[in-house]
Amino acid sequence: MELEFTNNLIVAEELSEDQKDAFKARQKCKQALEELSQEKLDAINNTRFYKLYPLEAPDNTVMPKF
């Protein structure tokens, strides 16, 4: 439904080039997600990211605090 609406807007030339590119990028992203296997989707959903903050120690380079 959303695809049909955006295609109508593109045909009617009611969208700027930037908006067209954004819709096309979103459409490609959705298509890529649909093509992924269930195993890869599970791996992506279970991915964890960790932030590591260095501790101040005498042998470390002193970084200025902002």
Q: What is the pLDDT of residues 35-57, one digit of tens each?
A: 888 999 899 889 999 988 877 77
Judge whether residue 61 has pLDDT over 90: no
Q: Is residue 58 part of a domain?
A: no
Q: Is residue 62 part of a domain?
A: no
Q: Is residue 50 part of a domain?
A: no
8 CB-contact burial (10 Å; exposed 0-12 / middle 13-18 / buried 19+): exposed
Domain span at 16: 2-43
Q: How many CA atoms lie less than 13 Å away from 27 in the CB half-sphere?
A: 13
Q: Is residue 65 part of a domain?
A: no
pLDDT of residue 46: 93
Q: Is residue 12 part of a domain?
A: yes
pTM comes to 0.42
Q: Is residue 19 part of a domain?
A: yes
Q: Count the domains in the chain.
A: 1
- Identify the DSSP state of 63: -
Q: Is residue 22 part of a domain?
A: yes
Q: Is residue 60 part of a domain?
A: no
